Amino acid sequence: MKYLIAGLGNIGAEYELTRHNIGFLVLDQLADEYKTNFTTGRLAAKAEFRYKGKSIHLIKPTTFMNLSGKAVAYWLQELKIPKENLLVIVDDLALPFGSLRLRTQGSAAGHNGLKNIELVLDGQDYSRLRFGIGSEFGKGQQVDYVLSNFSKEQFDELPPIMKKANEMVLSFCTIGAAKTMSQFNS
């Protein structure tokens, strides 16, 4: 059984540690843990490893956030992975910092990466792991906030939260979305 885990973010050193790149950061930690490296592939940096008999493919789209759907659709088709085995990891302003929520469908909630995936995949029926980044910004400052680095305090708190996110990814791949949601969503 194969799974595609897409972490959303923007390429480039200037975005590396920004809130909007939490999808990339989570996948980097997972790749490190399973001693695999990302290589440049078509439309994405790609890595893979096996876990409990499952083949887990990680992608970090190189298309920039607003065109993430192009990379996701390409790798689903290329690897012949059904949409129900797709999990997208994305930042979420509506959740408090550090909150994690797995959903099997839902709206893009204004997130341009998710909007593009919905457009390309023709629907909202794919799983996403929303990583709360909080909403500590003034009116009209949303873009600056998501494209800024985590505060020092938040950055120090990230490793165990990302570890929990990766536990959720592995759970999704082994026991499925429904059981993972009941176990991890609070």
Task: Over range 15-37, report the average pLDDT.
Answer: 95
How far is the C-alpha of 81 from the C-alpha of 100, rounded, in Å?
25
pLDDT exceeds 90 at position 135: no
Half-sphere exposure of 156 (CA within 13 A, CB side): 3
pLDDT score, position 116: 96
Region 47-51 average pLDDT: 97
Q: What is the average per-residue pLDDT within 119-135?
A: 94
DSSP state letter for 21 = G
Helix ranges (DSSP H) in the chain: 22-33, 68-79, 112-121, 142-146, 152-175, 177-184
Whether this prediction's pTM lies above 0.75 is answered by yes
Could you tell me the domains of the chain?
2-184 (3.40.50.1470)
Q: Could you tell me the pLDDT band of residue 137, with boundaries at 50, 70 and 90?
A: confident
Average pLDDT on 146-156 reads 91
Residues noted as catalytic: 20
Average pLDDT, the chain: 94
Average pLDDT over residues 19-45: 96
Do 61 and 68 touch, CB atoms closer than 8 A? yes
Q: What average pLDDT does this structure show over 75-95?
A: 96
N residues, the chain: 186
Encode burial over 147-174: b for 16+ CB neighbours within 10 A, e otherwise.
eeebeeebeeebeebbeebbebbbbbbb
Report d(CA 159, CA 30) in Å as an integer. Answer: 11
Q: Is the dihedral of CA 118, 120, 126, 131 positive or negative?
A: negative
Question: Closest Cα partner for 1 from 71, 46, 54, 39?
Answer: 54
Confidence band, pLDDT 50/70/90 cuts, at residue 186: low
